[in-house]
Amino acid sequence: MKKKQYSTLSKVLTLLFALLCLVWIMPIVEVAINSFKTNASINTNAFALPNAETFTRLENYIKGLTFGNYPFVKAFGYSLFITVVSVALILLFTSMTAWYIARVNSRFSKIFYYLCLFSMIVPFQMVMFTLTFTADAIGSGLTIGGIHPLPLNTPFGIPIVYLGFGAGMAIFMFVGFIKGLPLEIEEATAIDGCGPIKTFFMVVLPMLTPTLISVGILETMWVWNDYLLPYLVLDRTKYMTIPILVQYLKGSYGSVDLGATMAVIMLSIIPIIIVYIFCQKYIIKGVAAGAVKG
């Protein structure tokens, strides 16, 4: 008797959650539907399904790809480049720094570590104006032999800014993990005559894999979706990332061509959903692990 009751409750719960999940994805489904409709039809009834008259096939998408005089592919490319390079830089350099901080008990290590903790509670608004000045001053002001060696205000230099502003959290997480690793392994490699660089890359880095995954996921989610930092730092007439392009389109074309804007939004969501479907196990694990440390 008891067993039967339990299973009905479980069935009701399952049904309830299935419905709730449908509601949850509704906003995205709405955008998907509207991206195939004519402007007039989106305007009069955004919730209606497209019919023979209002269905536009891929017209909105074709328009969306070159919408606003800025090709979507270009924004996508910049977003991808900035994200991949920034996250790679952050993972490589902060894990090295964290190993130094965890293993070398100097005053410098301590000060740097506390500065990192401090930087985690400083909101971006506190430094956004001055960071823009600094990036411009170094990016355009510093010239050696006619070229700018550190173009911080372009997509090619902005990963340096991300490494600087994002170092705090990454170092904090890596130090926490490294302090839990047994010192004996590194001592053994030192006795065997292995230098610190080799030790780090051949012994320590492989042991850091779980933390590398969670830091990598958290930083990717941040950099890929970040709007304000690239908006302020980059020259917007030349370089746009996807969030900048979407905001720009909304401001200047959103009311003019809803259909094409919906298509651009879909184009920006689809890659994320594809990555999510394949890596959801790692993403969810990474977030849970990251939060427990924080």
Query: Interaction with other proteins in 100-159: which residues (CB under 8 A)?
Result: 100, 102-106, 108, 112, 115-116, 119, 121-131, 133-134, 138, 152
Do residues 83 and 89 touch, judged by C-beta distance below 8 A? no
- Report CA-CA distances (Å) from 86 to 93, 142, 168, 269: 11, 21, 14, 21
Does residue 235 bind other proteins (CB under 8 A)? no
Does residue 201 bind other proteins (CB under 8 A)? no
Do residues 240 and 155 touch, judged by C-beta distance below 8 A? no
Among 13, 49, 117, 142, interactor with other proteins by CB under 8 A: 13
C-beta of 29: minimal distance to other proteins in Å? Answer: 11
Residues facing 55 on adjacent strands: 37
In the complex with other proteins, the residue whose CB is nearer, 213 or 242, is 242
- Please list every residue from 267 through 286 that binds other proteins, using CB under 8 A: 268-269, 272-273, 276, 280, 283-284
Among 8, 57, 191, 278, interactor with other proteins by CB under 8 A: 191
In the complex with other proteins, the residue whose CB is nearer, 202 or 272, is 272
In the complex with other proteins, the residue whose CB is nearer, 43 or 66, is 43
Among 52, 180, 197, 237, interactor with other proteins by CB under 8 A: 197
Residue 157 CA, distance from chain mean position:
17
- Please list every residue from 247 through 266 that binds other proteins, using CB under 8 A: 247, 250, 254, 258, 261-262, 265
- Site size for other proteins, by CB under 8 A? 99
Record the tokens describing residue 49, joined without a space. Answer: 């399904």
Residues facing 147 on adjacent strands: 144
Record the tokens describing residue 3, joined without a space. Answer: 């067993």
Give the type of residue at 86: S
- Report CA-CA distances (Å) from 223 to 119, 156, 199, 227, 287: 17, 14, 30, 9, 15
Among 75, 169, 212, 242, interactor with other proteins by CB under 8 A: 242
Is residue 216 classed as helix, strand or coil in its secondary structure? helix
In the complex with other proteins, the residue whose CB is nearer, 147 or 191, is 191
